[in-house]
A = this chain, B = another copy of it.
Amino acid sequence: MVSVLKLRAKLLGFATGGMGIVVLDDSIAKRLGVHPLDRVKIKYNGKEVLAIVNVAKKLSSNKIDEVALYDEVVKALDVKEGDIVEVEPVEPPKSIAYIRSKLREERLGPEEIREIIKDIVRGALNEVEIAALVTTLHHQGLSIEEAYYFTLAMVETGERLRLNKKPILDKHSLGGIPGDKTTILIVPIIASLGYIIPKTSSRAITSPAGTADRFEVLAPVDLSVEEMEEVVEKAGGCIVWGGALRLAPADDIIIRVEYPLAIDPFFIPSIMAKKAAVGSTHVVIDIPVGRDAKVSTLAQGERLAKDFIELGSRLGMHVEVALTSGDQPIGYAVGPALEAREALKTISGDGPGDLVNKATRLAGLLLGMVGNKNGEAIAREALRLGKAEKKLREIIEAQGGDPKVRPEDIPIGEYTEVIKAKRKGRVLYINNRAIAQIARAAGAPRDKGAGILLRVKLGDVVDEGDPLMEIYAEKGYKLELALKLAEELMPIIVGKRHEIMVLKHIPAVPRPGLPELER
Decide if A100 is an interface residue (CB 8 Å cutoff): yes
B contact residues around A517 at 8 Å (CB)? 152, 155-156, 276, 315-316
Jot down 6 A-B pairs with beta carbons below 8 A, ordered by A. Answer: A17-B57, A35-B259, A103-B138, A128-B257, A135-B135, A281-B519
A261 & B71 in contact (Cβ 8 Å cutoff):
no
Closest chain-B Cβ to A25's Cβ sits at a distance in Å of 7
B contact residues around A110 at 8 Å (CB)? 511, 513-514
Interface flags, A1-38, vs B, CB<8A=1, else 0: 10000000000111111000001011000100001111
Decide if A472 is an interface residue (CB 8 Å cutoff): no
A511 & B57 in contact (Cβ 8 Å cutoff):
no
Q: Which residue of chain B is the closest to A440 with respect to CB atoms?
A: B1
B contact residues around A15 at 8 Å (CB)? 56-58
Q: Once bound together, how far apart are the Cα atoms of A68 and B30, in whole Å?
A: 26
B contact residues around A14 at 8 Å (CB)? 23, 25, 56-59, 68
Known: A14-B56, A92-B260, A131-B135. 9 other contacts (CB 8 A): A14-B23, A103-B135, A109-B511, A111-B514, A128-B128, A135-B136, A139-B139, A152-B514, A156-B517
A316 & B514 in contact (Cβ 8 Å cutoff):
no
Closest chain-B Cβ to A259's Cβ sits at a distance in Å of 7
Q: How many residues in A have their beta carbons less than 8 Å from beta carbons of B? A: 73
Decide if A488 is an interface residue (CB 8 Å cutoff): no
B contact residues around A96 at 8 Å (CB)? 260
Q: Which residue of chain B is the closest to A516 with respect to CB atoms?
A: B316
Given B12, B58, B132, which contacts A261 in the complex, CB threshold below 8 Å? B132
Decide if A263 is an interface residue (CB 8 Å cutoff): yes
B contact residues around A281 at 8 Å (CB)? 519
Which residues of A from 41 to 85 have beta carbons under 8 Å from B? 54-59, 61, 68, 70-71
B contact residues around A99 at 8 Å (CB)? 261
B contact residues around A134 at 8 Å (CB)? 132
B100 & A261 in contact (Cβ 8 Å cutoff):
yes
Which residues of A from 403 to 454 have beta carbons under 8 Å from B? 446
Q: Once bound together, how far apart are the Cα atoms of A129 and B127, in whole Å?
A: 10
Decide if A507 is an interface residue (CB 8 Å cutoff): no
Q: Given A35-B260, A128-B261, does the pair A519, B279 have CB atoms closer than 8 Å? A: yes
Interface flags, A75-118, vs B, CB<8A=1, else 0: 00000000000000000100010011001010001110010000
Q: Once bound together, how far apart are the Cα atoms of A131 and B139, in whole Å?
A: 14
Q: Which residue of chain B is the closest to A21 with respect to CB atoms?
A: B54
Decide if A501 is an interface residue (CB 8 Å cutoff): no
B71 & A57 in contact (Cβ 8 Å cutoff):
yes
A261 & B511 in contact (Cβ 8 Å cutoff):
no
Given B36, B138, B519, which contacts A316 in the complex, CB threshold below 8 Å? B519
Closest chain-B Cβ to A74's Cβ sits at a distance in Å of 12
B contact residues around A136 at 8 Å (CB)? 135, 138-139
Q: Which residue of chain B is the closest to A103 with respect to CB atoms?
A: B263
Q: Once bound together, how far apart are the Cα atoms of A116 and B514, in whole Å?
A: 15
Decide if A262 is an interface residue (CB 8 Å cutoff): yes
Q: Once bound together, how far apart are the Cα atoms of A126 and B130, in whole Å?
A: 14
Q: Once bound together, how far apart are the Cα atoms of A173 and B49, in whole Å?
A: 41
B contact residues around A497 at 8 Å (CB)? none
Given B17, B149, B152, which contacts A55 in the complex, CB threshold below 8 Å? B17
Most chain-B Cβ atoms within 10 A of its Cβ — which of A1, A14, A35, A99?
Answer: A14
Q: Which residue of chain B is the closest to A153 with respect to CB atoms?
A: B514
Q: Once bound together, how far apart are the Cα atoms of A15 and B26, in whole Å?
A: 10
B contact residues around A13 at 8 Å (CB)? 59, 61
Decide if A512 is an interface residue (CB 8 Å cutoff): yes
A131 & B127 in contact (Cβ 8 Å cutoff):
yes
Decide if A256 is an interface residue (CB 8 Å cutoff): yes
Decide if A143 is an interface residue (CB 8 Å cutoff): no
Closest chain-B Cβ to A130's Cβ sits at a distance in Å of 8
Decide if A140 is an interface residue (CB 8 Å cutoff): yes
B contact residues around A37 at 8 Å (CB)? 127, 260
Q: Which residue of chain B is the closest to A14 with respect to CB atoms?
A: B56
Q: Which residue of chain B is the closest to A1 with respect to CB atoms?
A: B446
B contact residues around A256 at 8 Å (CB)? 35-36
Closest chain-B Cβ to A282's Cβ sits at a distance in Å of 13
